[in-house]
């Protein structure tokens, strides 16, 4: 039988590690936002290029073993176009296993990557590589996604994650 290793969440050490990595590598394009919640969540917000667009992106760390990279793609369509759009997202999810596309209850559409690691093994380089994969993927795919949205994402319109 496999040995069970307990995970006892405490302080969010990943935020400090990620912040140090950004400072050491002269990456000054993230804005830190502490949420002061029970998971000690910290979001690092930026804008990323996606074709001719710039999208709100966040690296969300907390005291769990998960780090979420979340990109706001825009607002999903309503009415008959919604069913077609959902099928389109399902096809993207099936074709790109590292990315997960979803629609929130408020119709905002997101692309997520979840990185799993114990806090003491957190590697910011994995986050940077994952962000690079997202940027590369959206360079080739976002225009097709944007034309199906009722409102494409835009980092300059004040959207808050």
pLDDT of residue 6: 61
pTM: 0.90
In whole angstroms, give the CA distance from residue 35 to residue 38. 9
pLDDT in tens, 112-139: 999 999 888 999 999 999 999 999 999 9
Asked if residue 124 is part of any domain, the answer here is: yes
**5 part of a folded domain:** no
Q: Which two tokens stand for residue 135?
A: 């940027």
CA dihedral (86, 88, 90, 96) in degrees, to 10, reads -150
Range of the domain at 96: 28-157
* DSSP letters for 34-51: E---TT--EEEEEEEEET
Q: What is the pLDDT of residue 2?
A: 72
Express each pLDDT in 35-67 by its tens digit. 989 899 999 999 999 988 999 999 999 999 999
Looking at every residue in the chain, the average pLDDT score rounds to: 92
Question: Domain count of the chain?
Answer: 1
């Amino acid at each position: 039988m496999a040995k069970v290793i307990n995970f006892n969440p405490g302080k969010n050490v990943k935020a400090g590690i990620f912040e140090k990595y950004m400072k050491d590598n002269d990456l000054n394009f993230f804005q830190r936002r502490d949420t002061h919640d029970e998971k000690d969540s910290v979001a690092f917000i930026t804008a990323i290029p996606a074709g001719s667009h710039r999208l709100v992106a966040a690296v969300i760390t907390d005291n769990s073993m998960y780090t979420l990279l979340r990109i706001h793609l825009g607002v999903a369509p309503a009415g008959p176009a919604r069913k077609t759009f959902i099928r389109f997202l399902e096809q993207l999810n099936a074709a790109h296993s590292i990315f997960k596309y979803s629609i929130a209850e408020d119709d905002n559409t997101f692309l997520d990557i979840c990185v799993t690691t114990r806090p003491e093994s957190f590697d910011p380089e994995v986050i940077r590589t994952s962000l690079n994969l997202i940027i590369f993927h959206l360079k080739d795919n976002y225009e097709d996604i944007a034309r199906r949205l009722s409102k494409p994402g835009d980092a300059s319109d004040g959207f808050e994650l």
